[in-house]
Structure 1
């Protein structure tokens, strides 16, 4: 899984305005009342604030706040039933549930920019280009109104419509991962700020002569193991044994000594031409590709996979 950073404030403002346009004042107040009553002390303590201000806080709540609210509901069966689609306030949450369909297709008009659907706008401003769940498929748009991504409700909107419009409950992902997940529960969201480059690793096996290369995904905790299991990520990456084999063969063809020899040869010719020397890392990048920093894994398919494998093979040092 690839981490997604928070949206810029401008993007949050655009999203909230779109939500306000489809959820009228009366229902906003009803939602706020339920949030204050059932979502824990942090929300009850906002009682003195204006209803619209609390509604904004709810819609734009960080993933960590959403998770706390969800766990708060899970502690009490009565409260949990209250917020489910078929619970006590069924009609209210049916409206809230359906509002999402109107929001995602809403046309955004901004000065100097072409009109575009809100879901397209969000993906463009998410700072990622590939699915954060699998890092295999691009999710970029094909035009202003044709989204390349689907929006997964991390906490199922069919089970808990109260979270249906929360911005950080919406994970832009590929159709394969969205269909695989459906309403199943994952433990860690791509918006989880605790995720880092060491949360899980791709490890090569069977790379000795005569063996069949394969990739194993190792998670550092049971929560990520659950994500990998639900999304069938191990099965997905089993298909990349050929990619692994190519990287192993490339490393065999270009060991460090070979890289240094090529570097010396090129620098000899560059010196004769009065040009600056190249570093061995420049040659390495030409052969294996530039090392993608952790913050940019989401911009290239298989970026995490390639990084971990090449690090294991000794090509990259970090």
Structure 2
């Protein structure tokens, strides 16, 4: 698991709120801002709809505690929240002064965060694909119409069915892969929100026998610290089961640590400094086919695992 990091995260959250607010002010009269504020006040004293949408991960945790404490909850009070999430999936449509339509959608959230790889597993790419499918409106109609559909995933950290008031809250919407979102998590609760500051942990290496440098059975990946920090995330997203399938990549790192001594790395860096490589970590990245900077873990699958094992092997300072 990796954190979601962006230098303008608060600005992106504010843009998210503005899109929702503008649509509520100009869109359907059934679900206007007063509707949302009234629904919130029924369960959360002194809290506004805007505060719910912009609530930080820790504030969301507090709101969930309040919600759980209510003995009687009528989820019908929050139908508009779920409806607005449906609008977000397809895009809030607004019109400019020149009557051109503009949209803000879940696709904008993922693209603006510049996340390529799922933060839950750091293994699968997040797909943003536009494609076409053929549909028939009626059985008798033989003419087929092509419509565009988009494939992307936003997980609700706190499931929207159980916590409908968080259906459009920015920090409750986690860009994720389909496997983590639908296959593993679904409506389960997990413990670590990727928008939160994640306690430091690393994947380690345990040597089992002398075959470790040419046989995957000669070593195992140490998950102890990851299990302690990630807790329910570690279980729900099957981190061990998934990562054990990639022991071949760890074996390659072990072999490269043996076959590429420091003198060879120094030679490559000296030869290509300023062209291919900015520093020695760039050389290691080139040799390991991984990303070595923590702030870029979101760009390539298994980048944290690659980084941690490379560091333990002494490939990184």
TM-score interval (norm. to shorter): 0.7 to 0.9
What is residue 61 of structure 2 aligned with on the other side? 67
What is residue 141 of structure 1 aligned with on the other side? 128
- Listed one character per residue, the Cα deviations across residues 24-61 of structure 1 (whole Å, up to 9, x for unaligned) are 24421322312433xxxxxx2x6xxxxxxx22121121
- Rounded Cα–Cα distance in structure 2 between residues aligned with 1:281 and 1:153: 36
What is residue 204 of structure 2 aligned with on the other side? 203
Q: Give the unaligned 5+ runs of structure 1.
A: 38-43, 47-53
Residue 61 of structure 1 contacts residue 166 of structure 1 at CA under 8 Å; is this kept in 2? yes
Residue 130 of structure 1 contacts residue 137 of structure 1 at CA under 8 Å; is this kept in 2? yes
Deviation at 1:11, TM superposition (A): 4.5
Residue 36 of structure 2 contacts residue 80 of structure 2 at CA under 8 Å; is this kept in 1? no
Q: Give the unaligned 5+ runs of structure 2.
A: 132-147
TM-score, normalisation: structure 1: 0.76
Residue 103 of structure 1 contacts residue 118 of structure 1 at CA under 8 Å; is this kept in 2? yes
Pairing 1:176–2:163 present: no
When structure 1 is superposed on structure 2, of 252-261 and 153-162 the one drifting more is 252-261
Aligned length: 282
Pairing 1:32–2:26 present: no
Deviation at 1:95, TM superposition (A): 3.7
What is residue 218 of structure 1 aligned with on the other side? 224
- Rounded Cα–Cα distance in structure 2 between residues aligned with 1:216 and 1:93: 44
Residue 11 of structure 1 contacts residue 125 of structure 1 at CA under 8 Å; is this kept in 2? no
What is residue 163 of structure 1 aligned with on the other side? 166
What is residue 18 of structure 2 aligned with on the other side? 13
- Rounded Cα–Cα distance in structure 2 between residues aligned with 1:256 and 1:110: 60
How does 1:1-318 map onto structure 2 within 5 Å?
1-5=1-5, 6-8=9-11, 9-18=14-23, 21=27, 23-37=31-45, 44=46, 54-74=48-68, 76=69, 79=70, 81-82=71-72, 87=73, 89-107=74-92, 118-143=105-130, 147-179=150-182, 180-192=184-196, 194-195=197-198, 198=200, 200-206=201-207, 209-211=210-212, 212=217, 213-219=219-225, 222=228, 224-260=230-266, 266=271, 283-289=283-289, 291-317=291-317
- Rounded Cα–Cα distance in structure 2 between residues aligned with 1:284 and 1:114: 47
Deviation at 1:149, TM superposition (A): 3.1
Residue 24 of structure 2 contacts residue 33 of structure 2 at CA under 8 Å; is this kept in 1? no
Residue 7 of structure 1 contacts residue 126 of structure 1 at CA under 8 Å; is this kept in 2? no
Residue 227 of structure 2 contacts residue 234 of structure 2 at CA under 8 Å; is this kept in 1? no
Do the aligned partners of residues 177 and 103 (structure 1) sit closer, same or farther apart at CA in structure 2, a change above 3 Å counting? same
TM-score, normalisation: structure 2: 0.76
Residue 18 of structure 1 contacts residue 103 of structure 1 at CA under 8 Å; is this kept in 2? no
Do the aligned partners of residues 66 and 16 (structure 1) sit closer, same or farther apart at CA in structure 2, a change above 3 Å counting? farther
Deviation at 1:307, TM superposition (A): 0.5
Residue 150 of structure 1 contacts residue 173 of structure 1 at CA under 8 Å; is this kept in 2? yes
Deviation at 1:18, TM superposition (A): 4.6
Residue 17 of structure 2 contacts residue 50 of structure 2 at CA under 8 Å; is this kept in 1? no
CA-based RMSD of the aligned residues comes to 3.3
Do the aligned partners of residues 148 and 232 (structure 1) sit closer, same or farther apart at CA in structure 2, a change above 3 Å counting? same
Deviation at 1:237, TM superposition (A): 0.5
